[in-house]
């Protein structure tokens, strides 16, 4: 295989890889994007190119328990909702969500596409929370399970570790 294909993803190929998708729990969610990291073989780091049309939203208000996430705005403007506060965002702005993260979400409130890079860790197991929906997601590899937080039962306390 050509080494160029392994390590370099030209801009025209990125455009050709763009796919539109939306989050099933948010009727305003509509994203055109591609997973840049996977396209060049990255396994431990996710890097994604995202475009959100005016009036649309990125995903759904969520938080991460294990995987850190970051967002860098390339062009356009919008609103970032972070921990129930709203912040105007524009080109050059950067956001980072160390774990366990606060809930966050993006909306395009401008007149042109909101374009950004986003990424973070790509762990085997991730837990995400959807606080406004009372749901929790557990992803193990390619398997995703969704639970109502109200169904959770405490288990414990766990026995203390032995010194022997």
Q: Cα–Cα distances in Å, from 137 out to 35, 126, 161?
A: 21, 8, 29
Please tell me the distance from the alpha carbon of residue 37 to that of residue 119, in angstroms, as a whole number: 9
Superfamily of chain region 3-151: Jelly Rolls (2.60.120.10)
Q: Which pLDDT tens digits describe the chain residue by residue (164 residues)?
A: 454 557 899 999 999 999 999 999 999 999 999 999 999 999 999 999 999 999 999 999 999 999 999 999 999 999 999 999 999 999 999 999 999 999 999 999 999 999 999 999 999 999 999 999 999 999 999 999 999 999 999 888 877 776 65
Instruction: Give the per-residue pLDDT at 162.
Output: 67
CB 23, CB 80: distance < 8 Å: no
Place of tokens 């129930």: 84
Instruction: Give the per-residue pLDDT at 116.
Output: 98
Q: Cα–Cα distances in Å, from 163 out to 32, 133, 160?
A: 54, 43, 9
Say what the pTM is: 0.89
8-state DSSP, 110: S
Helix (H) / strand (E) element for 113: namely: none
Instruction: Give the per-residue pLDDT at 26.
Output: 96
Instruction: Give the per-residue pLDDT at 164.
Output: 58
Q: Which two tokens stand for residue 164?
A: 């022997």
Domain ranges of the chain: 3-151
Instruction: Give the per-residue pLDDT at 4.
Output: 52
Angle at 144 between CA 142 and CA 146, to 5 degrees: 175
Instruction: Give the per-residue pLDDT at 1.
Output: 43
């Amino acid at each position: 295989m050509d080494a160029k294909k392994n390590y370099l993803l030209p801009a025209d190929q990125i455009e050709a890889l763009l796919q539109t998708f939306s989050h099933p729990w948010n009727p305003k969610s509509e994203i055109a994007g591609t997973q840049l990291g996977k396209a060049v073989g990255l396994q431990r780091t996710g890097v994604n190119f995202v475009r959100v049309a005016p009036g649309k939203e990125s995903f759904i208000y969520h938080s991460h328990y294990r995987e850190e996430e970051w967002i860098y705005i390339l062009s356009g403007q919008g609103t970032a909702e972070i921990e129930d506060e709203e912040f105007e965002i524009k080109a050059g702005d950067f956001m980072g969500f160390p774990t366990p993260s606060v809930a966050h979400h993006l909306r395009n409130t401008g007149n042109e596409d909101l374009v950004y890079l986003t990424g973070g860790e790509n762990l085997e197991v991730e837990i995400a929370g959807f606080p406004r929906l009372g749901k929790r997601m557990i992803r193990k590899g390619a398997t995703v399970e969704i639970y109502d937080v109200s169904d959770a039962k405490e288990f414990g306390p766990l026995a203390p570790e032995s010194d022997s």
